[in-house]
C-alpha cells in the first residue's frame, strides 16, 4: 500500500519536485557542475521532472540524471533516475549533502578506479 501512496504523492508533487531540483542545481553549480533542467514549469512531456548533471572538462559525456521522488514519512528524496527507487542519493532537506553525493558519483564515473562507492556497487 505504501508503494502506491508514494507513487501518488510523486505524481501530485510536481511543483515540489521542481523546487528541489532547482535548489540542487544551484548547489551543484557552486561545486563547478553543469546542470540542464529537463522540465518546464507548467507542462512537460516527461512524466517526472529530471535534472541532467554532467562533468565539466575532458569527460563531458559523464553525467547523471537526477529526479525527486516521494519518500516514506512525508519526505522527498533525490534519486538517480535510471535506477528508480534503488538509486537513492539523499533526502531533499539537505541540498548541500545531496550535491556532495552527486559530485562523488560523477567523480567515480569519470575515474571508476577511485572506489568512491564500493558499498553500492557503482
Q: What is the pLDDT of residue 10?
A: 87
Q: Report the side by side order of strands in the sheet with 75-80.
A: 34-38, 50-54, 63-71, 75-80, 88-91
The pTM assigned to this predicted structure is: 0.82
User: How far is Cα 52 from Cα 34, in angstroms, rounded to an integer?
Assistant: 8
Q: What is the pLDDT of residues 60-87, one digit of tens each?
A: 567 899 999 999 999 999 999 999 889 9
Q: What is the pLDDT of residue 118?
A: 46
Task: Find residue 51's DSSP bridge partners.
Answer: 37, 66
Helix (H) or strand (E) holding 31: none
Q: What is the pLDDT of residues 19-45, one digit of tens each?
A: 999 999 999 999 888 898 988 756 656
Amino acid at each position: 500500500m505504501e508503494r502506491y501512496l508514494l507513487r501518488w504523492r510523486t505524481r501530485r508533487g510536481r511543483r515540489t519536485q521542481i523546487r528541489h531540483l532547482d535548489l540542487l542545481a544551484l548547489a551543484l553549480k557552486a561545486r563547478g557542475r553543469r546542470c540542464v533542467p529537463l522540465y518546464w514549469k507548467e507542462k512537460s512531456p516527461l512524466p517526472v521532472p529530471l535534472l541532467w548533471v554532467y562533468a565539466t572538462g575532458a569527460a563531458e559525456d559523464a553525467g547523471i540524471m537526477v529526479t525527486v521522488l516521494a519518500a516514506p514519512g512525508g519526505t522527498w528524496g533525490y534519486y538517480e533516475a535510471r535506477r528508480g527507487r534503488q538509486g537513492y542519493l539523499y533526502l531533499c532537506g539537505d541540498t548541500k549533502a545531496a550535491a556532495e553525493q552527486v559530485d562523488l558519483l560523477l567523480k567515480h564515473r569519470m575515474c571508476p578506479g577511485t572506489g568512491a562507492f564500493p558499498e553500492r556497487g557503482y
